[in-house]
Amino acid sequence: MSADSFGPTALATPANAVTIGRVVLTPILLVILLDAGASWPGIVLWFGLSASDGVDGFLARRHGTTRSGAFLDPLADKFLVLGALAALAGKGVFSWWPVVLVGAREVAMSAYRMVAGRHGVSVPARRSAKLKTVCQELAVGAAVLPPTADHLPDLATVLLWVAVVLTLWTGAQYLRDARGDFDAL
């Protein structure tokens, strides 16, 4: 292992620092969304926090993935995306139904990952689940970006419903995989 690599049990890693930064900055974004809704400060912070997900992934691949990162990164994603969706639903930008559907799948997926992890089963993110996250991020971005929020308000809603379909579809994929994972135990 090189000097800039971290073992699987490391906690203090560059990737984890970025992830923790996302968690710490998310409440500031939520205050902006609840206060202003669509705004330039909101979209700048949203874009930075969304893009930092890729940064922590790059750092983890470069310096070594860790169990703490595998736990923290999806948690930070859920905190960011679900928090933003809930804030926008609270402002009346989105209906609560798609937010509840996304939230229920995310909570169920987190529970599944915890149970699987206790049995030594790793549940890596599927490519389709990464697409789902991008679609969720685009829906929030369209709702927060002033030009689209002002002139194309339905765009964010359409993107959110596409994200809901992908969210439920990937959840079904994981559920199908879970049968095989736990049958093998």
Q: Is 28 a domain residue? A: yes
Q: Is 145 a domain residue? A: yes
Q: Is 9 a domain residue? A: no
- Summarised one tens digit per residue, pLDDT across range 39-86 is 999 999 999 999 998 898 888 888 887 777 777 888 899 999 999 999
Q: Is 5 a domain residue? A: no
Q: Is 51 a domain residue? A: yes
Q: In 10 A of CB 111, how many CB atoms?
A: 10
Q: Give the count of domains, the chain.
A: 1
Q: Is 95 a domain residue? A: yes
pTM: 0.88
DSSP, collapsed to helix, strand or coil, labels residue 53 as helix
What letter does residue 173 receive in the DSSP assignment?
H
- Summarised one tens digit per residue, pLDDT across range 76-120 is 999 999 999 999 999 999 999 999 999 999 998 888 878 887 877
CATH number for the domain including 178? Answer: 1.20.120.1760
Cα gap 84→26, rounded to integer Å: 9
Q: What pLDDT is attached to residue 75? A: 87
Domain interval for residue 154 = 14-183
Q: Is 7 a domain residue? A: no
What letter does residue 64 receive in the DSSP assignment?
-
- Summarised one tens digit per residue, pLDDT across range 133-152 is 999 999 999 999 999 999 99
Q: Is 2 a domain residue? A: no
Structural contact between residues 22 and 76, judged by C-beta atoms closer than 8 angstroms: yes
Q: What pLDDT is attached to residue 1? A: 46
Task: Reduce the secondary structure of 104-163 to three states and give it as a string.
Answer: HHHHHHHHHHHHHHHCCCCCCCCHHHHHHHHHHHHHHHHHHCHHHHHHCHHHHHHHHHHH
Phi, then psi, of 90 in degrees rounded to 5 = -60, -30
